[in-house]
Amino acid sequence: TALARQQGYAAVRKALEEAAGATTGSVSKSGEFGVFATTCVGLSDQEPAMLVDDVVFTRLTPAKVQSVVEQLKAGKSAAEIANPAQHPANTQAYVDALVHGEVQQADAVYFAPEEDLAAPVEVLKAMLQKTPQALLNEIKDAGILGRGGAGFPAGYKWQLVRDTPAAHKYIICNADEGEPGTFKDRVLMTRKPELVFLGMVCAAWVVGAQLGVYYLRYEYRYIQAYLEAVLQRMRSSNCLGKSIVGKEGFDFDIRIQLGAGAYVCGDESALLESMEGRRGSPRVKPPLPAVKGYLGHPTVVNNVETYAAAARVVEKGVQWFKNMGTERSSGTRLISVSGDCARPGVYEVQWGITLRTLLDLVGAQDAVAVQVSGASG
């Protein structure tokens, strides 16, 4: 990517080819190593980066890649090299050993201090004091816009699924963060995964779903074991599973499904095609996924950030959320910042921030150009 080239990609690639004995796009004569270029793998704040057997290595230098290849030749696994302390793969410590989930600026919604976050059990108990329609009205009143790009109001999508009669309904989290230069969802799902899963439970209560699917980008496979452990903890505390927090008849669970690396699966209908075992190509609309989605049933599809926002509204209330941002866009947003700046990483900012203010925050002096959104639009 352009960002990797800016951070020394050419020298790193040359060193990797020499160490592995293979040019880019080929396999070494021994058959031990293959070197292949990729598109953005969600690590733009710590480029150059590479994946080896689904294990990620970041902030590469020629010396670092040479060391990695030498250790691989000596018989070490990629996981042993990247995680020398041998943290279990299902822990936060393991993820932190591989990637630097840097939150450069936190605000009140997503990255609030732990002492400001209620326990998941308490959030769900409070939620279940409200009827599904009352909770849905709060989501609407809060003005939560979809954080995946289109900005479609989450509450109206949930209402459509709720109003569509069906024996089965589904809650899908689109964690297929494939837009080049974007990595905010990766940081959110590793720092506050409970918030995302809680938001999915809230959506399930509103629409009457019994199963949620967390569609995880394949390049983020190194996060999967950790997320599975978080889900298991939530099951153990009765925040998932049968009769959630004692509410008879409210059964809901979440499973993780890996994507297959296709950028287009960021589109909700292409994602559904992939989930059903077909090529990830966008569907013709209508019908909308909210009417005929996963396996032909009404389906809520929102992204990681949207579900986390919903969970915080349930916990803190509508007015708390609307006190942040602007009249038309409530709350905060997560922004992925990378490139020629002093402080790359994720920034939680309130809606309405100016680009000039953001450039000052990230330490981008004398900026010549800014790529807003992603390289693909």
For 96-162, give the DSSP string: HHH----EEE--SSSS--GGGS--HHHHHHHHTTS-HHHHHHHHHHHTPBPTTSS--BHHHHHHHHH
Confidence of residue 49 (pLDDT cuts 50, 70, 90): very high
- Taking residues 115-121, report their average pLDDT: 88
Question: What is d(CA 348, CA 104) in angstroms, rounded to the nearest whole number?
Answer: 8
Domain assignment of residue 198, yes or no? yes
Domain assignment of residue 363, yes or no? no
Domain assignment of residue 374, yes or no? no
Q: Which of 178-182, 209-213, 224-228, 355-359 has the lowest mean pLDDT?
A: 178-182
Specify whether 186 is located in the same domain as 289.
yes
What pairing do the DSSP bridges indicate for beta strands 253-258 and 299-303?
unpaired
The 10s digit of each residue's pLDDT in 239-293 is 999 999 999 999 999 999 999 877 777 788 999 999 999 888 889 889 999 999 9
Domain assignment of residue 141, yes or no? yes
Domain assignment of residue 320, yes or no? yes
Last residue of a domain, one of 290, 306, 326: 326
Specify whether 172 is located in the same domain as 50.
no
Domain assignment of residue 164, yes or no? yes
Domain assignment of residue 177, yes or no? yes
Specify whether 114 is located in the same domain as 238.
yes
Specify whether 248 is located in the same domain as 313.
yes
Specify whether 171 is located in the same domain as 320.
yes
The 10s digit of each residue's pLDDT in 137-164 is 999 999 998 776 667 789 999 999 999 9
Residue 235 has pLDDT above 60, yes or no: yes
The 10s digit of each residue's pLDDT in 324-353 is 999 889 999 999 999 999 999 999 999 999
Specify whether 70 is located in the same domain as 205.
no
The 10s digit of each residue's pLDDT in 188-232 is 999 999 999 999 999 999 999 999 999 999 999 999 999 999 999
Q: What angle do CA 137, 201, 152 make, to 5 degrees?
A: 50
CB 176 within 8 A of CB 217: yes
- Taking residues 91-115, report their average pLDDT: 91
The fraction of the chain above a pLDDT of 70, given in percent, is 98
Q: Which of 49-53, 97-101, 356-360 has the lowest mean pLDDT?
A: 97-101
- Note the Cα 88 to chain centre separation in Å: 21
Looking at residue 31, its pLDDT comes to 94
Specify whether 78 is located in the same domain as 155.
no
Average of per-residue pLDDT values in the chain: 93
Specify whether 48 is located in the same domain as 118.
no
Specify whether 176 is located in the same domain as 142.
yes
Domain that holds residue 119: 103-326
Specify whether 225 is located in the same domain as 320.
yes
For the entire predicted model, the pTM comes to 0.94
Identify any residues that bridge with 171 across adjacent strands, giving them in sequence order: 212, 300
Specify whether 233 is located in the same domain as 273.
yes
Q: What angle do CA 114, 120, 126 make, to 5 degrees?
A: 115
CATH number at residue 315: 3.40.50.11540
* Distance separating the N- and C-terminal Cα atoms of the chain: 15
Looking at residue 149, its pLDDT comes to 65
Specify whether 142 is located in the same domain as 255.
yes
Collect contacts of 60-63 with beta carbons under 8 A, ≥24 apart. Answer: 60/8, 60/12, 61/8, 61/11, 61/12, 62/11, 62/12, 62/14, 62/15, 63/15
Question: What is d(CA 23, CA 35) in angstroms, rounded to the nearest whole number?
Answer: 7
Question: What is d(CA 294, CA 218) in angstroms, rounded to the nearest whole number?
Answer: 19
Domain assignment of residue 61, yes or no? yes
Residue 374 has pLDDT above 80, yes or no: no
What's the total number of domains in the chain? 2
